[in-house]
Structure 1
């Protein structure tokens, strides 16, 4: 699986070009599945889920990029379905577009749905994360980002597909608490490398190669 971990979607040409590189073909020839699940655990998430999958979220471009086809993969529905009804669609799609929201809620349904178990076999699939949709790929999100908790409890651990953590929406005007100073304190609680990044920054991951793609600002803490 190839990853494009964004803070605010495909916001600029540099991130757009990185996406094209990962796809290795035009967006107009690529199929996409939207995963809105993370948003439901946040206030207003039901409305934002619709905006995300309908392409009516201009601040965080994802579904509206001109895909050949767009479907919806709602993780909380999958446990009630036979696997063959959805796994073939996931294997055949070019890209998974994963919405923001609560990362631990998303992590829970990644496990419950079985999608987390499927990920290692999706060698040709591109994962494009938005905020929580990016954080889910990290080993830990840090206590600052813990909101919803699973019924059985647990810590701040997520999938650990990559070995670094992500502090999204750095210096966002609507999130005055997301300062570089706050990010530094957050990173100090983690044992692994950690990136703070604004909405014009993304991290491209292909195998062991990690590349920051940015027209904004970012910082790496706890560098190995």
Structure 2
């Protein structure tokens, strides 16, 4: 897959242009599925939050960008309906828009649903992650971000990329997300890590990693 890993969605023209480049065509010609699942696993998540994400009423632009079509893919429902129904939905989409919330909860349901196993075959698709929707692609999220406890324990996620992500750097409503906090968090990880603010995203295409930003960020070496 082609990845656009954001902290807070498509927040500025630079990230918007990166999304269009990954799609290879206008947003208005692209079919999207949004995945709200991660929001249900986080202590701050709510049904209202899922509704705001889906309807474009949140402060994290994803679903309201003018897609040709937009559907909802709820991962917790997939095991009960069978892959023969939902896999064609995913294959027909151009892009998956993945909400924030709890990365470990999202990771669990990506595995339980079978979506995680499907990812390697989706080479022409674009994955747009928002906070936890980005962190789930990393090898580990770090102890600071563990809220929901997976059955296997730990803080490991899918490991599609080889770096971790500290989102919402220096966010005014998150006093625990300073650069000093990010530095301490990164020191406990065995892999490289990025701290990114809400005006920053990371693209990954065929193994090539690029930071696209109108804000500030930092790469911590392993």
Superposition TM-score, scaled by structure 1 size: 0.97
Distance 2:74 2:154 in 1: 24
Distance 2:138 2:61 in 1: 22
1:114-193 paired onto structure 2 within 5 Å: 114-150=114-150, 152-193=151-192
Indicate the residue corresponding to 2:51 in structure 1.
50
Indicate the residue corresponding to 1:201 in structure 2.
200
- How far off is 1:204 after superposition? 0.5
Distance 2:161 2:41 in 1: 24
Indicate conservation of the 8 Å contact 1:33/1:70, yes or no. yes
Give ranges in structure 1 of 5+ residues lacking alignment. none
**RMSD (Å), alpha carbons:** 0.8
Distance 2:133 2:207 in 1: 20
Distance 1:84 1:72 in 2: 17
Distance 1:203 1:219 in 2: 12
- How far off is 1:44 after superposition? 3.8
The superposition leaves residues 22-55 of structure 1 with CA deviations (integer Å, 9 ceiling, x where unpaired) of 0000000000000000000223422111111111
Per the alignment, in what secondary structure is the counterpart of residue 53 of structure 2?
helix
Indicate conservation of the 8 Å contact 1:45/1:101, yes or no. no
Tell me which stretches of 4 or more aligned residues in structure 1 moved more than 3 Å: none
Distance 1:36 1:219 in 2: 28
Distance 2:19 2:41 in 1: 28
- How far off is 1:154 after superposition? 1.6
Distance 1:80 1:10 in 2: 32
Per the alignment, in what secondary structure is the counterpart of residue 64 of structure 2?
helix
Indicate conservation of the 8 Å contact 1:191/1:222, yes or no. no
Give ranges in structure 2 of 5+ residues lacking alignment. none
- How far off is 1:153 after superposition? 3.3
Superposition TM-score, scaled by structure 2 size: 0.98
